[in-house]
Amino acid sequence: MLGNEEQRPCRYEPPQVPELQRLLWVRGGVSGHVDQVWPKIYIGDMWTAKDKRWLQSFNITHILNAADGKYNVCTGASYYKDMNIKYHGVKAFDSSSFDMSPFFYSAAQFIKEAISSTGGKVLVHCAMGLSRSATLVLAFLMICEDMTLVEAIKAISEHRNVSPNTGFLGQLRELDIRLNNERRLKTSCY
């Protein structure tokens, strides 16, 4: 808990999607295959997810594949069977019409369990490490670290250029509104 609720106005309204898009690319240069974006949390691409040497050298204990499935990044738990890695797959497509929101809480729980475990580190990846994986990490920061969407975007963007598609940004914005309303009900803001 960051204690940010005291600094937020009672009638908080997140920015619209175009303004959120402008907040995303604040880091100069390009991102690599993988970047640490939060303590014990890495966002990467499919090459990183398939690089067992890298996974071992960075002591990755958990993998959240935000592009799971036959027509995406087809690794699955069986790919890591010779490693001590816990796997969680989300069959998501990087399309603005795809509803990612049903996966927000299960992904956030998986990430939280990963980083709470002794020595735990999690790689959250999709094909390029820009949209689907970033969306799930942003949701985690909002749900488990009590951040607003803007705060979460700023936290990640300091370390990696990410670009959730407009549909995902809209879904994250709705989550932000819902979480803020829940916070408001818990405090004296009415």
pLDDT of residue 30: 64
126 given a catalytic annotation: yes
Rounded Cα distance, 38 and 168, in Å: 20
Q: Exactly one of 74, 126, 144, 189 is catalytic; which is it?
A: 126
- What is the average per-residue pLDDT within 1-25? 70
Instruction: For residue 82, give the amino acid letter.
Output: D
Confidence of residue 7 (pLDDT cuts 50, 70, 90): low
Superfamily of 13-186 according to CATH = Protein tyrosine phosphatase superfamily (3.90.190.10)
pTM over 0.85: yes
Confidence of residue 2 (pLDDT cuts 50, 70, 90): very low
User: What are the extents of the domains in the chain?
Assistant: 13-186
Average pLDDT, the chain: 90
- What is the average per-residue pLDDT within 64-76? 88
pLDDT of residue 10: 65
Evaluate if residue 49 carries a pLDDT over 60.
yes
Tell which residue, 143, 134, 135, has the closest CA to residue 108. 143
- Torsion sign (Cα): 67, 72, 76, 79: negative
From residue 102, give the alpha-carbon distance in Å to each of 91, 99, 107, 120, 189: 11, 7, 9, 25, 28
pLDDT of residue 184: 80
94-147: pLDDT as tens digits:
999 999 999 999 999 999 999 999 999 999 999 999 999 999 999 999 999 999
For the chain, percent helix, then strand, then coil, each to nearest 5? Answer: 45, 10, 45
